[in-house]
Each structure stands twice: as C-alpha cells, then as structure tokens.
Structure 1
C-alpha cells in the first residue's frame, strides 16, 4: 500500500491511477471534483496522494467519476434531450444551457461542449417541458432575432469560478478577474505600473488553442475576453475589490528609493574622513578644471622684449628676363 505522505504526482499519472482520460481528468479538476495543489518547484498543479485515495474510496468509483466528467457536443446533447439540434442551439444561446468547454475544429468553427449530466437534469425537469416542445415563447424568440448569444459569456463566468477556486493568493484572485478583461480595461483600473507588473506574475495560463498569434488563438482570445458593456463593468468592479484586498494584505513590491544626489559626500571628504581628519570647508571641495585664462602661459615681467622677425625681402628674378631688365635700367 502506498503511503499517504508520498509527494504529489503529475496530472498525467493521476489520470491513469484514477482510470480517466486526460480530457476527463481536466474537466473533473475544472469542476472541483479533483483537488490539486501547487507544485513548489513551479511545475504547475499536481495531485496529492491523499486526494487520489479519497476519490478511490468514493462509492461507484470509477464509473461515477467518469460519468460526472462526461461532456457532449450539440448533436449528442440534442439526442440526450430528445430535441433537434436547432432547438438545442437556441436553448444554449438563451443561456439555459451553460457550456463547460470549447474547442475549434479544423474549419476554425467554435464547438461548445456541455456536461452530459446537466443536459439530462435539464430535460428531466418538468418546468422545462414547454421549452422542449412546441414553439419557443415569443419573448425568447425576439431575443434570438436580435442576435442574443450567451454561450461565450456563460462560459467565461463558469471559467472565472474555476480560476478563483484555484487561486491561493489575493493577487492571484485579482489576476484571475483581470485575465477576462481587455488590457486597456485593466490599465484603467490598475493605474500603478508596479501593481500591473505584479499582477501579471499571477496571470493564469490561458487554455491552449493553436499556436500564439494564429487565427485559432485569436478566436479563442476573443471568446475569453469580456465584450458586453455590462459584463465589462461588472468585472472592472470585481477587479477593483480584489485589488483593494490584495493591497491590504500585501502591497506590490517597489524598487528601493535612490539616494538624493545633493546629499552625496565628495570623494575627497570621504577619503579624509576615513583617515580621521576633518577637512576645512574650502578644502573639502575638489578643485575643478582651471579656467581658460589660467591655462595660458604667463608673460615675462623683466628683460628686453623679444624682437619680431623681419619679413624676408622678395627674391630677385633670375635668368634671361632679369638680365634684360637690368640692361633697360
């Protein structure tokens, strides 16, 4: 029997020991049914041995855990409810069915995934019977005609709950809220650059959807960023509250203040103080460069003034031209 005090294991190993596929394991963690701990070495989240033993001891393991993490798309979800795919999509757009995950297919179309047990629970509720058969109520039809689609917004709300549940630090909670806002919105709420930098250290890793900068990654980023004004305003208020709590518990680190230049002691004074002598105030100042006039050589004060050299006489022309000029004179 494995000791409960063994070190935590990686998610891949925990999934194998719990009899889950990795996608099922991730959903179970997302839903809080498998608790994870932070890796002290900075390698992400891990699962404690005691948590694995706790789950194994639950009734119905492993099938009950696997069923709770089962997800379905639109086609399979509509079959579970006994409705058409169009009706299922309308119910999801109205926010009556909340996605638990999404991915992009090879055509870069968003495929929403839902918990199978939530779909079955919705279909079994007699209060929802009018929504499963007959015409959609008029008020709901009008909202759909106006383009209402709450799937992405409801997923963001669910995802934020997961991030807050994983956060173990007040700055991590604030960073979780900030991760769903546009960077411009974050900078307007967090005006201090040192706080923004500190907040970025706790920013949770985004779900991987394509390589960075790819069209798929850009679509996923749009889904993860609040777009509606009321949702943005709500997240901004929540970010401000989380930020106030983080400041009270532990302010963001700042660089140490630099000494003021006019208080610096001259080097000559420092050297003199090291030898135990107190310099005269005038001597404490280091001599600066001599003025230009001081660098000129001093003029002699006695003796005869030096004679200036006489200009040389012009040379007389030589050759035939000079002899002709002398004869003519």
Structure 2
C-alpha cells in the first residue's frame, strides 16, 4: 500500500517564492509535518534560482491555504502514527499490525531512531483508515493470514525498509528536473561499490556525488545512528538492486545523450574509487532480513523509470 509521493517538478521558478522554513511557518506546520507534506505532494516545491534547496512558490502557499478545512485538514492529511496508534485506528492488535507491515501490506512513510537506536516506523493515518475501510481487506484484518504471507513472515522477511525506499525513490525522482539529477537519485539508493562498478568514469561519479539528494538527518556523519539510517536507505534485496542497477544505466544513457558530466575545471571533482576492502552494508538488525520477492527475471526497459516515479519510502 503506497501513497503518491511525487512532488511535481516545475520548469521555471516563480519570482515570488519562499524558503521551506518560512513556508512551513506560513502554513502552520511543524518541520516534520512540512517535510512530509512535501514528500507526499501535498505542498509542491520548485527549484531554487541559485541551485540550492528547493523553495515554495507564493501561489502554492495561497493554493494550500484555500483548500477546504485548512489548516486542520492539511495537518490531518500529513499525520503520521506509530504501530500502537496505527493499530488502534484500524481496530486490530499491534501484533497483527506489525505482521501486515512486515509483509509489505502497509507501507511506512517515515522512520526515526529512538534513544536505543531502534528503528521506529511511522505510517500515514489517512492511508491506514482507508485500508481498514476497504471491504476487500477484511480477511487481512480479522481472518487467518494467507499461506504465502505466513511463510514469508515465518522466514523472517521484513519488507518495511524496501517499501520505504520505494516510496522515497518516488519522491526523489519526482523532484528531479534533469536526467543527471535522476541518475544521482537512483545512485543514492545503491551502495558505493555497485555505483563504482556501473559508473566507470570518475568525472561522472563526481557529478553524481555533487547532485546526490540531501539525506534526512539521523545523527552526526559516521555516528552509529547515521550508519543504521544509511543501511535502511541502501538497497539490499537482490531484485531491488537489479531493478535499481537497470534504472541507473537507463538514466545515465539518457543523461549522456543530453550533455557530458563536467570536468574538474567546472567545479565537480572526480571521486576516487573506494578502498578495496569496501563491501556493501549488511541489513541492520533493527530492520530485519529481507529476501527476494517472487518475481520473474528482470528485463530492463524505459518503463522502469516511469514506474519508479509512479510508485509510492
């Protein structure tokens, strides 16, 4: 279950635009609420003139303010809840809620690390209510879980990280107005060794690194919390990795057809290869192990990127 996380890109920047912090204040949203509103497309952003952080057009502020029930309706549409509150909204036990989430039936919209560095997943309250109200989902709410679902859960599979990454990818690609930016967004979900394998040119790697989307803060760089968050944000499922590899190659082919990556003189230094002992990060204990879904062999096509943009972290 995923929502629309794509933020509509704009081809030009209106003269009257606000920094995101100012836009959040004008809309009466807390920082986390505003960030989620942007990720879900509830508030649309535009590129900044100077290439910095995206901004919010004044017209967009007025559009959001003009929606029915503002501001309470907007806050409710971006309300994220944890397992206990989510189970209460759906009128099921927390154990059943967790199993539905681990099985990939419920898709997290955010995550954070608590004081013990355990991963806490958050879900969109609006989506949970819609799921519970749909008659087709009644068997999952009260009945015995399907055999296939129980087998996967018994095997220890946890699809929450992968589903969140899918949603996150949709947001990143929705904000990418350029082929190189789209390639950088896909590359940010792969481990450095895989990127090195696929992108041989050091200037291209440097450009992708320069364009890499800003990551959500989860502690100081190289801190234990930051390393856990990095593992969550890096694909570790074989089929997911294959899909991302194909998407990166397609994005690079499109980007190279438009222009070459800048050389160091243009301000984009080449990225040196990682040390030989660098290996892809293993899944953290807080997220659970993942195993490949039952899908057929991957056949890369240009439909991959379009599908990635439409999918709902």
| TM-score (normalizing by structure 1) | 0.74
Per mean C-alpha deviation after superposition, the further-off stretch among 158-167 and 198-207 is: 198-207
Residue in structure 1 matched with residue 229 of structure 2 by the alignment: 220
**How many correspondences in the alignment?**
252
Do structure 1's residue 61 and structure 2's residue 75 form an aligned pair? no
State the 1:43 CA deviation.
Answer: 3.8
Deviation at 1:40, TM superposition (A): 2.1
In structure 1, the residue matched to 2:124 is: 115
Q: Residue 186 of structure 2: which of 159, 165, 177 is its match? A: 177
CA contact (8 A) 2:113 2:119 kept: yes
In structure 1, runs of 5+ residues without a counterpart are 257-329
Counterpart in the other structure of 2:196: 187
Which residues in structure 2 correspond to 1:306-317 (within 5 Å)?
none
After TM superposition, give the deviation of residue 53 of structure 1 in Å.
1.0
Match of 1:8 among 4, 11, 17: 17
* CA distance in structure 2 between the partners assigned to 1:232 and 1:252 by the alignment: 24
The answer to whether structure 1 residue 196 and structure 2 residue 192 are counterparts is no
Partner of 2:269: none
CA distance in 2, matches of 1:43, 1:197: 18
Are residue 97 (structure 1) and residue 106 (structure 2) matched? yes
Cα deviations by residue, 1:189-246 (Å, 9 ceiling, x for unpaired): 1111111111111111111101111110010000000001111111000000000000
Query: What SS does the aligned partner of 2:17 have?
Result: coil
Whether the 8 Å contact between 2:203 and 2:264 is mirrored in structure 1 is no
Runs of 4+ aligned residues of structure 1 deviating over 6 Å after TM superposition are none
SS at match of 1:102: strand
Describe the SS at the equivalent of 1:111. Answer: strand
Contact 2:108 2:122 in 1 (8 A): yes
State the 1:6 CA deviation: 5.9
The one of 202, 206, 210 aligned to 2:219: 210
Following superposition, the deviation at residue 255 of structure 1 comes to 6.3
Match of 1:133 in 2: 142
For residues 38 and 20 of structure 1, the distance between their equivalents in structure 2, rounded to whole angstroms, comes to: 21
* SS, match of residue 163 in structure 1: helix
Which of 94, 98, 105 does residue 85 from structure 1 map onto? Answer: 94
**Residues 1:35 and 2:35 are matched in the alignment:** no
The superposition leaves residues 250-298 of structure 1 with CA deviations (integer Å, 9 ceiling, x where unpaired) of 1112369xxxxxxxxxxxxxxxxxxxxxxxxxxxxxxxxxxxxxxxxxx
Q: What per-residue deviation string (whole Å, max 9, x for no partner) do you get for residues 149-173 of structure 1?
A: 1000000000000000111111000
Gaps (5+ residues) in structure 2? 1-13, 266-313
Q: CA RMSD in A?
A: 1.4
